[in-house]
């Protein structure tokens, strides 16, 4: 289970005194615990992957701001954080792979008009999951 992997990685980072890795894993665990507390449920691996993907997206978004401001120290730190987080995410699909899956979903759902967009998006999200952040 992903929660156990995060816990063991946290312990390992603490033992090896890898401060940035420890901090990133702690932030991920805190986000997971917050959602579990708010919803009063135990999250499964897919839900945990969604949270991890959100954490990665937050950092990618902030990276653009740091690049605009020229803060090389923060740029380097955020890039390292993204690298650490990416190790927990599945391989990201290419645009072509995503397009192929969406076309498949359109055929499966029988979507014909723009009004069918909602059910196509829902089915595509279920198939793709955290394998795409686009």
Provide CATH code, domain 91-134: 1.10.10.410
Closest Cα to residue 88, out of 126, 132, 53?
Answer: 53
**pLDDT for the residue 134:** 46
Segment 93-98 shows an average pLDDT of 89
CB atoms within 10 A of CB 24: 24
Is pTM beyond 0.85? Reply is no
Distance (Å) of CA 91 to CA 46, 65, 113, 132: 14, 26, 31, 8
91 touches 97 (CB < 8 A): no
Q: How sure is the predictor about 104, in pLDDT bands with cuts at 50, 70 and 90?
A: very high
For residue 34, pLDDT beyond 50: yes
Q: pLDDT tens across 80-93, in order?
A: 999 999 999 988 88
CA distances, 54 to each of 60, 72, 85 (Å): 10, 23, 10
- Residue-level pLDDT at 133: 67
Angle of CA points 81, 59, 87, to nearest 5°: 45
């Amino acid at each position: 289970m992903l929660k156990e992997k995060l816990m063991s990685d946290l312990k390992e980072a603490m033992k090896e005194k890898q401060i940035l890795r420890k901090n990133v894993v702690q932030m991920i665990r805190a986000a997971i615990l917050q959602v579990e507390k708010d919803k009063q449920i135990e999250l499964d691996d897919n839900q945990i992957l969604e949270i991890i993907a959100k954490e990665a997206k937050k950092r990618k978004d902030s990276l653009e701001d740091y690049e605009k401001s020229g803060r090389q120290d923060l740029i380097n730190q955020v890039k390292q954080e993204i690298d650490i987080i990416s190790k927990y995410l599945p391989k990201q699909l290419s645009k072509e792979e995503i397009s192929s899956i969406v076309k498949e979903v359109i055929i499966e759902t029988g979507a014909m008009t723009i009004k069918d967009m909602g059910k196509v998006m829902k089915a595509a999200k279920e198939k793709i999951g955290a394998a795409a952040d686009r």
